[in-house]
Amino acid sequence: GENVEQHPSTLSVQEGDSAVIKCTYSDSASNYFPWYKQELGKRPQLIIDIRSNVGEKKDQRIAVTLNKTAKHFSLHITETQPEDSAVYFCAANPNDYKLSFGAGTTVTVRA
């Protein structure tokens, strides 16, 4: 099955700095890579996703890059703010019906 590895497990950044989270996947059939954000005590919510026919996607301060050859994708958050503090999960789909998540990255933005 698909194995998604996510690093780092925790990340502390100064407000205004950038944060980068990296994920690797094992199944070359994966073609959809979403990122979910989970605030403390809340449900996961999609923040951005990328499909295999695209190398990069940006939405305001958030961007995701995908390298299919190397089987890795990354989340970039620029100009971090306190409300960016949360757990972030990457995921990949080994087929059309399953979704495998990484273990999560706890991001803390220091004021």
Site residues, another protein (CB under 8 A): 1, 6, 9, 31-32, 34, 43-46, 49, 51, 89, 91, 93, 95-104
CB atoms near residue 60 (< 10 Å): 9
In the complex, the smallest distance separating the C-beta of residue 76 from another protein, rounded to whole angstroms, is 20
In the complex, the smallest distance separating the C-beta of residue 42 from another protein, rounded to whole angstroms, is 8
φ/ψ of residue 84, rounded to 5: -80, -10
The Cα 70–Cα 3 span in angstroms is 14
Between 97 and 111, CB nearer to another protein: 97
Contact present, 48 and 34 (Cβ < 8 Å): yes
Between 79 and 102, CB nearer to another protein: 102
Three-state SS for 2?
coil
Between 15 and 39, CB nearer to another protein: 39
